[in-house]
Structure 1
Amino acid sequence: MSNAVPGDFSGELPGGSGTVAVNVRTVPDGAMVFFDGEKQEAKTPAYYYVNPGVHCMKVTLIGYKTYMDEFSFPEEELPVIYLEKAVEGTLHIDSTPQDASVYLDGEYKGQTPVDILTTVGSHELVIENQLYKTIEKTVELKAERQGMHYNLKPGSGAVYIWSIPEATILIDGEVIDLENNPGIVELDPGTYTITARKEGYKVGQKDITVKGADTQEVYFVLYGPGGQYTRVNDDIINIGITSEPEGATVYINGEERQGKTPGVYRVYPGINQIRLELSTYQIYDEEIDFPDESPLVVPLVRSPSDHPDIQGPSPEGSGRLEVEVSPADATINIDGSNVDISQPLELDVGEYLVKASSDGYISQQDTITIQKDKTTSISIHLVPEEEQNNDMSPSPEGSGRLEVEVSPADATINIDGSNIDISEPLELDVGEYLVKASSDGYISQQNTITIQKDKTTSISINLVPEEEQNDDMGPIVYFPGPDTVNIKIDSDPQGADVLYKGKAIGTTPFTRDVKPRIYLIELRLDGYEPTFKQIDVRNYITASTMVDMETGIWDELKEESE
């Protein structure tokens, strides 16, 4: 069945080939129509094409009782359907575990347990939790108050595993039976170590995190004898290509292929031109005879032109650096050498001096630390020379003012270890200061502020009573150490409520020192759909993310500094 578009109902509308056009009119308009349980796209008034014969028709509209009847088309002509106003009642929704998001008729209603005031009748219920399978049901509210409880089943993620050559696959040391290569395995949320083993080949191993009902790909290209491939058809084969380190862009016969190394790529047997590109490494460009030389494992060589001081891979390992700069054509210099930042840079573990410069702009520099197997991201915004007087960076000379507003009003304010009186603005030298607020019965807070020359910095601190601190994010530690992580969550636009386990714990921009573990965070902002993200901060010291409330897309969690 398919819908006709709403139109002028004054005349006859012929049906399509072998179908009957049914005119459905309701009072009020805007009702949803179902024929034999199949939802129709257009809302009333509209014409719908149906096959001749007896059909069960259902009409629903929020706030009105559901209408159901059987009709035989084309023998019967539909009357105008006058919908009856429904009576309101309360729908109590609970789940195990709790804190699941509830949607009724497509509208977010809160987290379980939740009471929803709605109309008596049929409603579409959706219960979601990122780590569990989604429940979608049609529920019927028949009384003034009706309770429903649902047991959520753990969600599973689909992991797509492909190995060249075909190898024995182990997950956390246990051999799994993959029916095919590639094969798919369902895993519950958690962290797993996947290993690929084949006699005569170097063992491959990858750690993955399954975050619920998601899908991810794991490729293994094992180093060893050649001639390993899978066949697509009589002319095309799948071959494996990887690089050490991984993450190189692959070109085959001049054509860029999707995805980075490691990967499986379709080629014609015989000689193929293979090109691998990875920032700070020399380009690999060779003719390879497939399948005799598959799997192809390429040890990339450091590029002296990119970083002349590096003579080979560091025994301490390496990490990656991502640089975002404005203006986009600014020159980036690392330890005296200009670099291309169009792709992330692979650098040895250690400290580097990063400088950014551009004609007509004030140059900036910063020292960054590269950590083993981690990605460091920095953002540099150069200030035009004509705006130098408005430069937001600290000046080495002069002073500025600090205004502090605190709740409760009798809280103690401490700056760099000294208690101070905030009844009047404070005159402070240019620089950074640690401001701490504390009061009996409240959880202390601290902020780092920057005083700028001839400017006034204002901060507002609202202390949370100790009895309200039950959001289970772990003890708040205001002096980060090896066992704490400082997470920062921001949104565009700002001012979104940050919730953990259904409880509001702050608004964006939000920062807190927490224990290193996994947190399921929700953001809510009037006028926008709620958005969720599972944040794993176990391998971070300082991490941040940004959320686009319009799209609900979260940036990847990034390490800010050591």
Structure 2
Amino acid sequence: DLQKLAKEYQFSLVTNPSDATVHIDGKLVGRTPLNVTLEEGTKSISVSKAGYQTYTETFVLNRNISKSITLTSMVQNYQLSVITSPSGADIYVNNAYIGRSPLSVTLEGGTKNLRIERSGYETYTENFILDRSISKSITLTPQVKEYRLSVTSSPSNALVYINGTYQGRTPLTLTLREGSYAIRVTADGYEDFSTNVTLASDRQVSATLYAKKARLTIETEPTNASVFVDNVYVGRSPLSVDLDAGRHTIRVEKSGYITDSKDVNLAAGTSSSTKITLIEERPVARITISSDPSNARIFINGKDYGRSNRVVELDPGYYEVVLVLDGYRVSVTYRYFGKGDHNLSFNLSRID
């Protein structure tokens, strides 16, 4: 007998999803996508994949055949339990509201999007696969509030530091999270301005900057002199005073010495010194010399001092004072004149 030759045909199979296990006539032939050569005849195919219903079919292979199969998912239900801190949050699964925490619900298995919302807290989102019963415990993050902080200064263009970090120059507006902040405003030649603010709403800080003082040390020779700055008494030398930057007049007075003054120009935030040496006053005897009649010539220790009536200044001591006027007798006195003011009067007698 002549033996009949079996014909062979190509069999191709794709599945959705792929990677499914394929058995033909009870024999494992591979995973999808699949392309095999088989003898002609009646075939029984079985396609299986975890989580999906097994697909079976009997067909006659009498030509090249290509098949495309969509596997049917096996629906399984699982328990989802959600606890939040704080509780009372709204829970959404795949955008569908399912209740408030804490809760426990039964859902079909599969990929899920979990969203949790509560007033005053950041929205929590998570994607997960529900392929078993799951319990979730979630701590919600308090919602961060932001406010505007405006900082101005007089003078402007001052440097602004917040919590020690440079932020810019005034006027300055920043958006910051709710909370407490240390603010420092500084400018060359001015005292720093510092303050603490708590941002629970929009805030404005106005900084008035005051010029730095200049320290001046004043010494005199001799010491213990009265010191005046811009005509204001500030104490006795030696001393140090804090003054505004700029030009100032220093005046020094001491009994028995000639008053002296000088101008100083001070820079803000600096320390400097000045010394004033006083010149001792010459002691003076101030003599007012008058005569009746007047216009008599005055001689003191033989020196002509002009005519009466007049004031003569001399060193303290003994002096001979002579007045001479034509037609009158010469008038002479000899006496001591100390420091200070003196009056000396002469009544002249006519010559007979």
TM > 0.5 fold call: no
The two structures have a TM-score, normalised by structure 1, of 0.22
Indicate the structure whose relative CO is greater, using CA pairs within 8 Å and at least 6 residues apart: 2
Structure with max Cα Rg = 2
* Structure 1 or 2: more strand by fraction: 2
